[in-house]
Amino acid sequence: MDEAHSHKSAGWWLPPGVALTQPTIPFHTFILKVASRCNLDCDYCYIYRSPDVSWRTRPHFMEIDIGRLVAQRISEHVAKHSLEEIDVVFHGGEPLLAGASRIDALASLVREIVPVKVSFGLQTNGTLIDEEILKVLLKHEVRIGLSLDGPGKANDRHRLNHAGKSSYEAVLKAIELIRSNPEWLHLYGGLLAVIDLRNDPVELYRFYSELNARSVDLLLPDFNHDRRPWRKQPGYTPEIAYGQWLARFFDVWFSEGSLMEIKFFEEVLTLMLGGRSGLESIGLTPVDLVIVESDGDIEPVDTLKTSSRAATNLGLNIRSHSFDDALQHPAIRSRLMGSAVLCETCQKCPELEVCGGGYIPHRFREANGFLNPSIYCEDLQYLLGVMRNRVKENLATTPAVTLIP
């Protein structure tokens, strides 16, 4: 590790006077950037439209020899920490640009070298899905997440290809193809959408319901204190516009008791009811995932690319460093330390245990790194208030529940 770099960046991750503690848990999720380019050119992309332009010098695809090293490093980590199962996610860029045979080979290597149960996932824009790739994904039981921001116009506000053409029809065809074969259907993991205030949340809910999505996640756009989100939209109060948008989606989803799981809401409810979060963007549960870039660089979560290259460049590579080396870096270790690494405002907030300071890239400011509330702090406070009230109202009318006066 580059000690100078580590020392310099530590101030971004830790409040003054707070020392790094030893990691309490190892990594369980390994996200492999099998392709470092994309066939779409989404204008909000947290990789190709971000201040971190390291992708320009990375190989387009993860070579097999790098994949083998990654598998060996995972195996080493699994053995050292006596892990019983792990997740491996094929990610990009657009991971399907790597091609069916490369993904087949990489998944086979992981299966062959890692001696515990491996659950595979893949996050794709869907435009390159065909029967050949679906056969490979079925072979390795790779669950598929698709990015789709909504019906035609909603999706095409941002998700266009390099020629400025829509990606919408291609994604719908991919979903139809997956659903056309009962053997493939269980691979259809869910949909991922970035919120745009111009899209009607109720219309979006109906759209996803009609697609029979098992789960959907709604993402706040990856802005921060230096690059702020646009908030002026008729019908919304600017300071809490994203909170209001999410609350409107929540209200229709919750009142209908939908079987479609909205990850962010489900996790907030789990936290409110005393559970642990399973999503890195909410709650204080340690974040136990790590990225491996196509050239073998080991990095913290990729959305940090929206802040600065200094936030993602750990000076570690799979050729010469283990995943345990990565566990020692402030950028990784601080995310295993819960509320101790949050700013004073967050530490005093009554929503701390549920919110957990919000998603880490949304806290960034060049001057003091991640020691700030989320740029969506007021939105989250508003949303959590609405959600808690709806839960209380619902439980108050449940016969099995006694409310303590």
294 is an interface residue for another protein by CB under 8 A: no
Q: List, as own/partner pairs, every contact residues 249-256 make where C-beta atoms lie below 8 angstroms and the sequence separation is at least 24, other chains included.
A: 249/201, 249/202, 249/204, 249/205, 249/218, 250/383, 250/386, 250/387, 250/390, 251/386, 251/390, 252/201, 252/202, 252/205, 253/205, 254/387, 254/390, 254/394, 255/390
34 is an interface residue for another protein by CB under 8 A: no
Of the candidates 85, 130, 169, 344, which one interacts with another protein according to CB under 8 A?
A: 85
Rounded to whole angstroms, the Cα distance separating 6 from 310 reads 10
272 is an interface residue for another protein by CB under 8 A: yes
Per-residue x/- track, 175-214, another protein (CB under 8 A): --------------xxxx---------------------x
Q: How far is CA 214 from the centre of its chain?
A: 17
Of the candidates 54, 258, 313, 368, which one interacts with another protein according to CB under 8 A?
A: 258
Rounded to whole angstroms, the Cα distance separating 388 from 250 reads 11
Of the candidates 161, 209, 270, 313, which one interacts with another protein according to CB under 8 A?
A: 270
251 is an interface residue for another protein by CB under 8 A: no
Rounded to whole angstroms, the Cα distance separating 313 from 276 reads 29
Of the candidates 94, 149, 217, 379, which one interacts with another protein according to CB under 8 A?
A: 217
Rounded to whole angstroms, the Cα distance separating 383 from 369 reads 25
Listed ranges 81-89, 172-180, 237-245, 373-381: which one lies at the site for another protein (CB under 8 A): 81-89
158 is an interface residue for another protein by CB under 8 A: no
Rounded to whole angstroms, the Cα distance separating 84 from 348 reads 37
Of the candidates 16, 19, 273, 348, which one interacts with another protein according to CB under 8 A?
A: 273
Nearer to another protein, 260 or 343 (CB): 260
**Edge-to-edge strand ranges of the sheet holding 261-262:** 261-262, 215-219, 188-194, 142-147, 117-124, 85-91, 29-33, 289-292, 298-299
Listed ranges 34-42, 158-166, 273-281, 316-324: which one lies at the site for another protein (CB under 8 A): 273-281
Of the candidates 116, 185, 202, 367, which one interacts with another protein according to CB under 8 A?
A: 116
Q: What is the DSSP letter of 290?
A: E
Of the candidates 52, 280, 293, 299, which one interacts with another protein according to CB under 8 A?
A: 280
Of the candidates 93, 145, 221, 243, which one interacts with another protein according to CB under 8 A?
A: 145
Nearer to another protein, 186 or 319 (CB): 186
Q: How far is CA 240 from the centre of its chain?
A: 22
CB of 47 to another protein, least distance (A): 10
45 is an interface residue for another protein by CB under 8 A: no
Tokens 């200094």 sit on residue: 310
Residues 6+ apart with CB under 8 A from 404: none
CB of 388 to another protein, least distance (A): 6
Nearer to another protein, 3 or 84 (CB): 84
Of the candidates 86, 98, 326, 342, which one interacts with another protein according to CB under 8 A?
A: 86
Nearer to another protein, 91 or 333 (CB): 91
235 is an interface residue for another protein by CB under 8 A: no
Q: Are 395 and 401 in contact (CB under 8 A)?
A: yes
279 is an interface residue for another protein by CB under 8 A: yes
Judged on CB neighbours under 10 Å (0-12, 13-18, 19+), 260 is middle
**In terms of Cα–Cα distance, which of 338, 281, 291, 285 is closest to 311?**
291
CB of 7 to another protein, least distance (A): 27
Interface positions, 379-398, toward another protein (CB under 8 A): 385, 388, 391-392, 394-396, 398
154 is an interface residue for another protein by CB under 8 A: no
276 is an interface residue for another protein by CB under 8 A: yes
Nearer to another protein, 6 or 252 (CB): 252
Interface positions, 305-344, toward another protein (CB under 8 A): none
Of the candidates 32, 34, 89, 341, which one interacts with another protein according to CB under 8 A?
A: 89
Which residue spans within 23-164 are E strands per DSSP? 29-33, 85-91, 117-124, 142-147
Nearer to another protein, 86 or 240 (CB): 86
What radius of gyration do the chain's Cα atoms show? 21
Rounded to whole angstroms, the Cα distance separating 256 from 235 reads 23
